Amino acid sequence: MLHVHWAEFIALYLFLGGVSGGAYVTSSWASLMKSLMDTDSWLGKILLARTDDEEHRYACAETARWGSVLSVLAMAVGGVALLSHLGAPLRALTFPVLFSNYGSWLTIGTWVIVLFTTIAVLETLWLHFGSAVATESGLSLFPRKILGRIDSLLPTERGFVWLLDTIADATRLPSRVHGALRVLGGGLALLLVVYTAMLLSDVSIVPLWERTYLPFIFLMSGVSTGISAALLGTVASGGALTRTNHRFCLTDDAIIIAELVAIGLLLSHLSNSSNAAADLTMSTLFGTYSLAFVGGVLLLGTSLPVVISITVTLLHQFTEFGETLRGKRLLTGGYALKYSLVLVGGFLLRYVVLLAAIKTPLAVPGL
């Protein structure tokens, strides 16, 4: 019987699940900042310092919309990658009946995916459609623009945009209820990021999937890649030099550093273990997969983005480098490069975690 290894498609699913959850959390935080600016509340003045910065307001709106739509798109593509690995993909639709072990992370994760996707789709609908959005502009509104072009080809005046605007206005919740739903969505988003690591760490015979460290590493990486995906959209929308991007970028740096510390602790745990599989895992990480792990994850995907971020931040905040057109372009390119490298590193992390996993040999009594 053929032994099927988890490889690119499962690594892609794990990566996109992290991006989806992290992008939703980023969207929710950006939406909160924008709402605080709109209401000119005392909390907004404490958290934001200024509530009259129109560039900041625009960047918050763009970040919120990019985060929401990317969370849905990542979940959709990740779902296809996961289902394509199954022998009978359509059987996944029967999970409410077949998945009865509610203590299993497979069951928990499936329900998290369904509930989170429902909330993320609603959030994307409310941020991109409705009468309140009709007059707004920004690159993140591309779903609305694409449907608008399709509508222009239809013989009727009431097309897809009108339909989605009507649904969005009819279903939009009161602000407090909407805020509570965002909190619930944020909790589910973090569970979405973590559950895959919990699922892997159930296999206790794989030292690399150590439950003490892997869930935290996946959590930090998922939130970091989600921030990077959403802010890459904000940079493309012209918000690279705004306070929104600056604050999210520094937050991302702190998260990456925490991720690196956790990876270091996991490597220390493996190197100090007397388990033969742990020793072989270390040899595999720094041998067979050294290019992907050392070069891709530790250098290009985490360390270099922090260096780029610090360099760009210093140039932007403490010099007049960004006052010229050439300087603005270079700073914008620096932010875009940083976020792109984080995304590459996030995928390679999950790829290496899967392919460098080595099982502890089972001891057979009497042999």
Q: Residue 178: which pLDDT band, with cuts at 50, 70 and 90?
A: very high
For the chain, give every domain's residue range: 8-355
* Rounded (5°) CA angle 19-24-30: 125
Q: What is this structure's pTM?
A: 0.91
Token pair, residue 230, equals 């959403």
pLDDT of 216 > 60? The answer is yes
Identify the pLDDT of residue 49. Answer: 52
Q: Residue 3: which pLDDT band, with cuts at 50, 70 and 90?
A: very low
**Percent of residues, the chain, with pLDDT higher than 90:** 62
CATH no. of 8-355: 1.20.1630.10
Q: Which of 183, 214, 208 is nearest to 196 (CA)?
A: 214
Which range is least confidently modeled, 244-248, 251-255, 292-296, 315-319? 315-319
Contact of 249 with 335, CB cutoff 8 Å: yes
Q: Please, how many CA atoms are within 13 Å of residue 346, restricted to the half-sphere of its CB? A: 33
Q: What is the pLDDT of residues 41-76, one digit of tens each?
A: 666 666 665 566 788 889 999 999 999 999 999 999
Its sign, for the CA torsion 105, 111, 115, 117, is: positive
**Percent of residues, the chain, with pLDDT higher than 70:** 88
Q: Which of 195, 31, 9 is nearest to 112 (CA)?
A: 195
Between CA 322 and CA 328 the distance in angstroms is 5
Q: What is the pLDDT of residues 113-157, one digit of tens each?
A: 999 999 999 999 999 999 988 888 899 999 999 999 999 898 888
